[in-house]
Amino acid sequence: MNILKKIVFSTLLLVGNYICSAQEISIRGGFNLSQFQFKIGDIVSHREGTKLNPGFNVGPIIDIPLQNIFSVETGILFTSKGNKISGNPLQGVNDYLFQINTFYLDFPVLLKATIPIKKTKIFAMAGGYAGRALYGNIIARGEENSVIKHFKNKIQWGSKPNEYDRFDYGLKFGAGIKVRKYQIGAFYEIGLKDFSNDMMYELRNRVLEFYIAYRVKDLKRTKNKNH
């Protein structure tokens, strides 16, 4: 946990120290498709009825130039993750749904390579992220013996076996295009942290992100005008 706090602090320090040298400041938003990697021992298990859980991502990002085609992209993202199991019938229950939704503040730090092609630019990014869950919920629904059952509970956070760890970290890989003030891209996020606190199995986040970003400030162009 101390390592995770250091990662988050280092990310915020990086943003604070280099915000003045940022080339671009943008606002991005998009949707996620997520699920948990469920692992028992050394075996990754695919649970029956697992579907991609829909969600969202939104927040400010900044682009910090390094040299030539390279830059660092970072920011603060409010993003949803989770898992969804559904089916009809599934496990003896009709119209079965078991859904876990978690909501995080993520701090990515990504190395970005941008190549201009005519009036557009293509880019690729790779790096890591650290995140902290703010809240979450568990939804279950199904029809059994003609009786519809439904409940929604808040996720309990902590270190006990029936609780989840709030902290998460992992790797991110992405690519996209830039056209004028717009940036369109996609990421795949691989969570490395087992957040389940259970001795029998491990849970890790897997998230596919799609987004559109709009540049609200080009500090490099502003500085050039001032000079």
User: Domain segments of the chain: what residues?
Assistant: 2-226
In the prediction, which pLDDT does 6 show?
56
pTM of the model: 0.83
Residues 167 and 178: their CA atoms lie apart, in Å, by: 32
Nearest CA to 186 out of 209, 168, 219, 160 is that of: 209
Contact 141, 159 (CB under 8 A): no
β-pair type (94-117, 70-75): antiparallel
CATH value of 2-226 in 3.30.1330.10, 3.40.50.300, 3.60.15.10, 2.40.160.20: 2.40.160.20
In the prediction, which pLDDT does 12 show?
53
In the prediction, which pLDDT does 217 show?
78
In the prediction, which pLDDT does 149 show?
81
In the prediction, which pLDDT does 7 show?
54
In the prediction, which pLDDT does 100 show?
95
Residues 6+ apart with CB under 8 A from 219: 20, 21, 22, 23, 24, 25
Q: Report, as ranges of residue numbers, the positions in the chain whose pLDDT lies below 50.
A: 1, 4, 222
In the prediction, which pLDDT does 9 show?
53
Alpha carbon separation from 180 to 53, 119, 177, 184, 213 (Å, rounded): 32, 8, 10, 11, 11
Contact 126, 110 (CB under 8 A): yes
Strand ranges, E, within 88-119: 94-117
Residues 106 and 216: their CA atoms lie apart, in Å, by: 21
